[in-house]
Amino acid sequence: MLKVQGLTKTYATADGVFRALKGIDFEVPQGGFHTLLGPSGCGKSTTLRCVAGLEEPDDGTISIAGEVVTDRARDVHVPTFCRDIGLVFQSYAIWPHMDVFANVAYPLQVHRPRIAAAEIRQRAMEALHLVGMEEFATRPATKLSGGQQQRVAFARALVRQPKLLLLDEPLSNLDAKLREQMRFELQELVARTRVTTLYVTHDQAEALAMSDTVAVMVAGEIVQNGAPRAVYDRPRNALVAKFLGSANFLRGKLLESCSSAGIATVALEDGASTIRAAVPAGLSAGTMVDVIFRPEDATTRFDTVDGAIECSVERVVFQGGMSEYQLRLGSSLLRTVVHPSAGAQRGDRAWITVEPLRCIVFAPAA
Amino acid sequence: MAVQAADVLAPPRATARRRQGGSLGWTGRLVLGAAALAAVYLVVTPLLSLLITAFRGPGDLLPMEKGSRWTLANLVEVYLNPSLFTDVVPNTAIFVLGSVAITFLVAFTLAWLIERTDLPWRAVIFTVVLFPLLVPGIVVAFAWTLLFAPNAGWVNVAMRTVAGLEGPGPINIFSMGGLILCQGIASVPFVFLLLGAAMRAMNPALEEASSASGARPLTTFFRVTLPILRPGILAPLILAILVALEQFEMPLMIGFPARINVFSTRLYFDLNPEDELPAYGKAAAVALLFLAAAVVLLFIYNHMIRRAERFVTVTGKGYRPTRYALGRWRIPALCFVGLYLAVAAILPTIVLVWTSFSTETGFGLDTYRTLFANPHFWPAVRNTFVVAGASASVITVIGALLAWQIFRLRFPGRGLLDVVSFLSIGIPAVIVGFAVMVMHLSLPVGLYGTIWILILAYSYRLAVSTRLSRAALIQIHPELEEASYASGGQWLDTARRVVLPLLAPSLMASFLLLFIVGFREFTIPMVLQSDDNWVLSVIMWKLQIATQTGQAAAVGTLILVFVVPVIFLLRRRLLSRQDET
């Protein structure tokens, strides 16, 4: 449904040349929900704006529903108002001089060929009903709260039943509780209308919760692309691992050679411990590697366990439903999560074990 | 620090305040009280004296002179005289509405071309458009008469030669049409700045949302862009009407020879008649009507600005508004801009420079030599700078102190003080001159006829400095001052070591802006002129009236020579920098 290939964009700034996009490729199937996830400045919004037609890339092609809308090489650029899209802005961009109904009816009113007024009215009210705002139809746009403006923005984006829904960090202007609620509503909306969606955010919780596929973007490139679980469980490098969820890092020396991917032993830097971890193919014994595991994958016990890594408790942080333990191992500080009933204190010894398959090894980049 | 024109013209607004009265101490109270009193003296007392003058007669006596008494005779004479309503009022109305229409058409087009299209050389054009802001209106008016006078005007001579015509013309600047056109073009830079600011403040996402909803660019323009800009257009419109109402230079230079009388010239000639005594009472009665209209407009303006603030939306990411590609409209757009710049800036400059260097024996510096030898010239130069500098300093200091009081303290009469300062935008300059004149002729203080009275009269423009300081104070959190008090500092310490350094850029901007305004002032020094207090703009007028055209042109050229480097210097500092993307 949406196909992006080789998207490149460069800006000339006062300090030189800034490469915002360095060749972006991804595809979103019909009805799919694809998220571009990354920190500020990684190029995700620029990519979305190129798909919307608000910006022109320096190179690459974009096609929506089989129609090529941007092809730099062949000088094709279909303007925004000719693309069958719905776009929700971070600032909502609700027109202040119109009321709620007029905002939502607008895409139908400017449609050519013309749509009959009765049909416009019916479809606009349906869209308002979809977002639960039909009672606010005559409210002036300046008298809406943030959450209400956002719902109106959704209704406006969906009213003409576009082929592609584009969302540019729509939840980042809301406070935490409202954000959760709106995230849920958005998911419901998308599921009900089954519209193909491209979502941009820097919030990894949103990305993991809502998407069919996630593309992690850093500095203008897609670093990893896949289903949320896949990207979370098998990050391709330390950058992705750190960005999605929290991660513990340990350095060590690989003790066995691995011609094919499998489980091997790594001697950790502190000298005393070893850990068995999932290792990619082609690493030889003696290589210095990074070992990564997630806090929730570590089991923490407070009496000796064979084969476990011994550390000392440095800090216990009570967080209500669970306690986060910060454990010292040599020069590293590890984090694990434990049920709050475990009554360990600072200075106690702790033993952690991790399922080898949940431990990932990366050969560190040069 | 970039200063927005909109900052200066915003009305009083309610914001959160903190009680700080306790930390004032005696120094604080003294300084602030003095500033408040000064503000009242500068703005209110002249108006009061005007009001009193209107009701005291007989008409040719000063209100406090022996023999004068309370009377309604002045008002009766003026308002029952049909000439006021068949001559002055209609002429003023046509003049104001006609010139504002032209100003808006030109300024909106220019602002749109520069802010929203890919017009080439935008940065240079922006600077040249603003160039007339620093030049006294009378100089530009004079240059236009040199260009468009029916007999000897350059443009007319050229047109006659090319078309082989005889007799005066074809363009006669000394007509209502000429007056309207000249005033219209002269007011463009100021309105251009305001409209440009409104366009820049618009959230680009609003237009992008329209495009993403399937609307063609023209549809977006009429259904989204214009309605959203409307409050930002109406407010400058009212302000432009207010400013046109008080204009004096064009009506004097161009309207008067054509026997067209508007309010400002009518008042001036009532106060400076050729062969009679000044009719203070009658002039005051005329001024009342003028003032009432101005105050009504001021309150409408206030209302418009509040409406405009409702439409300010939060922008998400700071993208600039899209620029439309001009395509084949590029050449017509450049022609339009070129024509405007030619008439407003380039041709006047050329004609002034040329005329100043032409002597009987070809080109030379004779005119300048005569001018420099003129005993009035160098004092006039000195006066101009002294008065502009002194009044700018006074207003900046008082305005800042006023802004601090109004914004940070709570005391009875605070709202009134705010209104007093805001009111000063709406008072026409000719009325200020008149009111100050009457007040000081009546007082035993011997300021009349000196440059001190000019400094006093110029200093009524408190609103400029108060607004700028207020905008800066909003950025300075009260806690910064509270930290000083908590550390044992007193009011004076806090003012000197915390507030003043933080306010410094805004004070600088205010000073520069007011210096420019004082530099180009013509109306007030004309009303209050005496042999001792001529300034450059007045001297130019005197020379021109005495048909010393060459010398007048030389004064104009010298002013231009001073102004051009200043505008380049100021462009970054003072004017809202438009981006170069």
pLDDT one-digit tens code per residue, B164-175: 877 777 888 899
Task: Give SS3 for B487.
Answer: coil
Task: Report CB contact under 8 Å: B209, A81.
Answer: no
Highest mean pLDDT (candidates B9-18, B245-254, B456-465): B245-254
- Is residue B553, in this structure, part of any structural domain at all? no
Task: Give the pLDDT band (50/70/90) at residue B306.
Answer: confident
Would you say residue B11 has pLDDT above 70? no
Question: Nearest 5°: CA angle at A175, between A169 and A176?
Answer: 90
Would you say residue B140 has pLDDT above 50? yes
Q: Which two tokens stand for residue B472?
A: 């800066």
Query: Is A143 in CB contact (< 8 Å) with chain B?
Result: no
Query: Is B310 in CB contact (< 8 Å) with chain A?
Result: yes
Q: Which residue has the tokens 């054009």?
A: B125
| Cα A228 → chain centroid | 8
Per-position DSSP letters for B245-303, written without gaps between them: HH--HHIIIIIGGGT---HHHHHHHHHS-SSS---HHHHHHHHHHHHHHHHHHHHHHHH
What is the spatial distance between Cα B462 and Cα B459, in angstroms, rounded to a whole number?
7
> If one looks up domain A247-362 in CATH, what number appears?
2.40.50.140
Burial of B411 (0-12, 13-18, 19+ CB in 10 A): exposed
What is the spatial distance between Cα A166 and Cα A185, in angstroms, rounded to a whole number?
16
- Is residue B566, in this structure, part of any structural domain at all? no
Same-domain check for residues B252 and B328: yes
| Best residue in A82, A91, A143, A166 for a mutation probing chain B (most B CBs within 10 Å) | A91
**Residue B12: partners with Cβ closer than 8 Å, 6 or more residues away:** B406, B415, B418, B419, B422
What is the spatial distance between Cα B395 and Cα B517, in angstroms, rounded to a whole number?
12
What is the spatial distance between Cα A12 and Cα A16, in angstroms, rounded to a whole number?
6
Number of domains in chain B: 2
Q: Which residue has the tokens 């021109």?
A: B544
Would you say residue B18 has pLDDT above 50? no
Residue, of B123 and B390, whose pLDDT is higher: B390
Chain A contacts of B223, Cβ < 8 Å?
106, 110
Residue type, B253: M
- Is residue B235, in this structure, part of any structural domain at all? yes
State the average pLDDT over residues B302-314. 67
Per-position DSSP letters for A88-119, written without gaps between them: E-TT----TTSBHHHHHHHHHHT-SS---HHH
Q: Which residue has the tokens 């008080």?
A: B246
What's chain B's length in residues? 581
What is the spatial distance between Cα A73 and Cα A3, in angstroms, rounded to a whole number?
16
What is the spatial distance between Cα B173 and Cα B183, in angstroms, rounded to a whole number?
12
Q: What is residue B315's predicted lDDT score, i.e. its pLDDT?
A: 47
State the average pLDDT over residues B224-233. 87
Task: Give SS3 for A38.
Answer: coil
**The whole model's pTM is what?**
0.78
**Per-residue model confidence as pLDDT tens for chain A (366 residues):** 999 999 999 988 878 888 899 999 999 999 999 999 998 888 999 999 999 998 889 999 999 999 999 998 898 999 888 899 999 988 888 888 889 999 999 999 988 888 999 999 999 999 999 999 999 999 998 889 888 999 999 999 999 999 999 999 999 888 888 888 888 888 888 888 899 999 999 988 889 999 999 999 999 999 999 999 999 888 888 888 888 878 888 888 888 887 787 888 888 887 778 888 888 887 888 888 888 888 988 898 888 888 788 888 999 999 888 889 999 888 888 899 988 888 888 888 889 898 888 888 887 754
Q: What is residue A61's predicted lDDT score, i.e. its pLDDT?
A: 95
Query: Is A60 in CB contact (< 8 Å) with chain B?
Result: no
Q: What is residue B304's predicted lDDT score, i.e. its pLDDT?
A: 79
Same-domain check for residues B382 and B519: yes
Q: Tally Cβ neighbours within 10 Å of residue B246.
A: 19
- Is residue B310, in this structure, part of any structural domain at all? yes
Residue, of B181 and B316, whose pLDDT is higher: B181
Residue type, A342: A
What is the spatial distance between Cα B244 and Cα B95, in angstroms, rounded to a whole number?
8
Q: Tally Cβ neighbours within 10 Å of residue A365.
A: 8
Question: In 3D, which of B2, B14, B9, B5 has the Cα closest to residue B474?
Answer: B14
- Is residue B6, in this structure, part of any structural domain at all? no
Q: What is residue B569's predicted lDDT score, i.e. its pLDDT?
A: 73
Would you say residue B533 has pLDDT above 90? no
Would you say residue B580 has pLDDT above 80? no
CA of A232 vs chain B CAs: smallest distance (Å): 29
Task: Report CB contact under 8 Å: A93, B219.
Answer: no
pLDDT one-digit tens code per residue, B343-382: 999 999 999 999 998 877 778 888 888 889 989 899 999 9
Would you say residue B337 has pLDDT above 50? yes
Chain A contacts of B213, Cβ < 8 Å?
81, 106-107, 110, 156, 160
Burial A298-336 (b: 16+ CB within 10 A, else e): bebeeeeeeebbebebeebeeeeebbebebebeeeebbb
User: What is the DSSP pairing of strand A288-293 with strand A248-254?
Assistant: antiparallel
Which of A82, A97, A107 lies closest to B227 in CB terms?
A: A97
Stretch among A99-108, B432-441, B515-524, B546-555 having the lowest mean pLDDT: B432-441
Average pLDDT, chain B: 83
Q: What is residue B5's predicted lDDT score, i.e. its pLDDT?
A: 53
Same-domain check for residues B412 and B270: no
Q: Which residue has the tokens 């967080």?
A: A319
Task: Give SS3 for B402.
Answer: helix
Nearest CA in chain A to B205: A93
Chain A 88-117, CB below 8 Å of chain B: which residues?
89-91, 93, 95-97, 106-107, 110-111
Task: Give the pLDDT band (50/70/90) at residue B577.
Answer: very low
The partner residues of A2 in beta bridges, in order of sequence, read A28, A64
CB contact at 8 A, A64 and A86: no
Q: Which residue has the tokens 């009280």?
A: B33
Task: Give SS3 for A242.
Answer: helix
Which of A87, A160, A173 lies closest to B209 in CB terms?
A: A87
Question: In 3D, which of A102, A169, A109, A190 has the Cα closest to residue A142?
Answer: A102
Residue, of B525 and B364, whose pLDDT is higher: B525
CB contact at 8 A, B199 and B114: no
CB contact at 8 A, B190 and B247: no
Task: Give the pLDDT band (50/70/90) at residue B10.
Answer: low
Residue type, B32: L
Q: Tally Cβ neighbours within 10 Å of residue A68.
A: 14
Residue, of B76 and B140, whose pLDDT is higher: B140
Per-position DSSP letters for A130-174, written without gaps between them: HTT-GGGTTSBGGG--HHHHHHHHHHHHHTT--SEEEEESTTTTS
DSSP B365: S
Across B267-359, the runs of DSSP E, i.e. the strands, are 358-359
Chain B contacts of A200, Cβ < 8 Å?
none
Would you say residue B512 has pLDDT above 90? no
Q: What is residue A168's predicted lDDT score, i.e. its pLDDT?
A: 92
The partner residues of A351 in beta bridges, in order of sequence, read A301, A310
Question: In 3D, which of B75, B78, B46, B71 has the Cα closest to residue B56?
Answer: B71
| Best residue in A90, A110, A149 for a mutation probing chain B (most B CBs within 10 Å) | A110
Peptide bond between residue B501 and the one before it cis (omega within 30 degrees of 0): no
Task: Report CB contact under 8 Å: B203, A93.
Answer: yes
Q: Which two tokens stand for residue A38?
A: 């990354």
State the average pLDDT over residues B429-451. 82
pLDDT one-digit tens code per residue, B195-228: 888 888 788 889 999 999 999 989 999 999 999 8
What's chain A's length in residues? 366
State the average pLDDT over residues B481-502. 80
What is the spatial distance between Cα A140 and Cα A128, in angstroms, rounded to a whole number?
15
Q: What is residue B17's predicted lDDT score, i.e. its pLDDT?
A: 46
Which of A52, A91, A111 lies closest to B212 in CB terms?
A: A52
Would you say residue B313 has pLDDT above 70? no
| Best residue in A55, A85, A89, A111 for a mutation probing chain B (most B CBs within 10 Å) | A89
User: What is the DSSP pairing of strand A16-28 with strand A33-37?
Assistant: unpaired
Same-domain check for residues B29 and B85: no
Task: Give SS3 for B557.
Answer: helix
Q: Which residue has the tokens 């050729």?
A: B274
What is the spatial distance between Cα B47 and Cα B24, in angstroms, rounded to a whole number?
31
Query: Is A156 in CB contact (< 8 Å) with chain B?
Result: yes
What is the spatial distance between Cα B191 and Cα B182, in angstroms, rounded to a whole number?
15
What is the spatial distance between Cα A95 and Cα A106, in angstroms, rounded to a whole number?
10
Task: Give the pLDDT band (50/70/90) at residue B16.
Answer: very low
What is the spatial distance between Cα A340 and Cα A300, in angstroms, rounded to a whole number?
12
Instruction: State the angle between helix axes of B176-186 and B137-148 in degrees (0 to 180), rounded to the nearest 10.
Output: 130
DSSP B329: G
Which residue range forms the structural domain that includes residue B434? 24-51+377-533
Backbone angles phi, psi at B482, to 5 degrees: -60, -35
What is the spatial distance between Cα B11 and Cα B301, in angstroms, rounded to a whole number?
9
Instruction: State the angle between helix axes of A146-158 and A176-193 in degrees (0 to 180), rounded to the nearest 10.
Output: 20
Q: What is residue B429's predicted lDDT score, i.e. its pLDDT?
A: 87
- Is residue B419, in this structure, part of any structural domain at all? yes
Question: In 3D, which of B568, B497, B580 has the Cα closest to residue B119?
Answer: B580
CB contact at 8 A, A27 and A65: no
Q: Which residue has the tokens 């092809």?
A: A71
Which of A156, A166, A173 lies closest to B213 in CB terms?
A: A156
Q: What is residue B450's predicted lDDT score, i.e. its pLDDT?
A: 84
Would you say residue B310 has pLDDT above 70? no
Domain layout of chain A by residue ranges? 2-242, 247-362
State the average pLDDT over residues B131-148. 89
Chain B contacts of A110, Cβ < 8 Å?
210, 213-216, 219, 223
User: What is the DSSP pairing of strand A248-254 with strand A323-329?
Assistant: unpaired
Q: What is residue B581's predicted lDDT score, i.e. its pLDDT?
A: 31
What is the spatial distance between Cα A22 and Cα A45, in angstroms, rounded to a whole number?
14
> Domain A2-242: what homologous superfamily?
P-loop containing nucleotide triphosphate hydrolases (3.40.50.300)
Same-domain check for residues B91 and B185: yes
Residue type, B579: D
State the average pLDDT over residues B427-448. 82
CB contact at 8 A, A197 and A19: no
- The H-or-E segment that residue B202 falls in is none
Q: What is residue A240's predicted lDDT score, i.e. its pLDDT?
A: 87
In this structure, the dihedral spanned by the alpha carbons of residues A187, A191, A197 and A198, taken in order and rounded to 10 degrees, is 30
Domain-terminating residue out of B358, B386, B402 = B358
User: What is the DSSP pairing of strand A164-168 with strand A85-88?
Assistant: parallel
**Residue B418: partners with Cβ closer than 8 Å, 6 or more residues away:** B12, B406
Task: Give the pLDDT band (50/70/90) at residue B59.
Answer: low
Which of B206, B212, B216 lies closest to A95 in CB terms?
A: B206
Q: What is residue B308's predicted lDDT score, i.e. its pLDDT?
A: 66
Provide the CATH number for the domain around residue B462: 1.10.3720.10
Same-domain check for residues B334 and B386: no
What is the spatial distance between Cα A324 and Cα A296, in angstroms, rounded to a whole number?
10
Per-position DSSP letters for A114-139, written without gaps between them: ---HHHHHHHHHHHHHHTT-GGGTTS
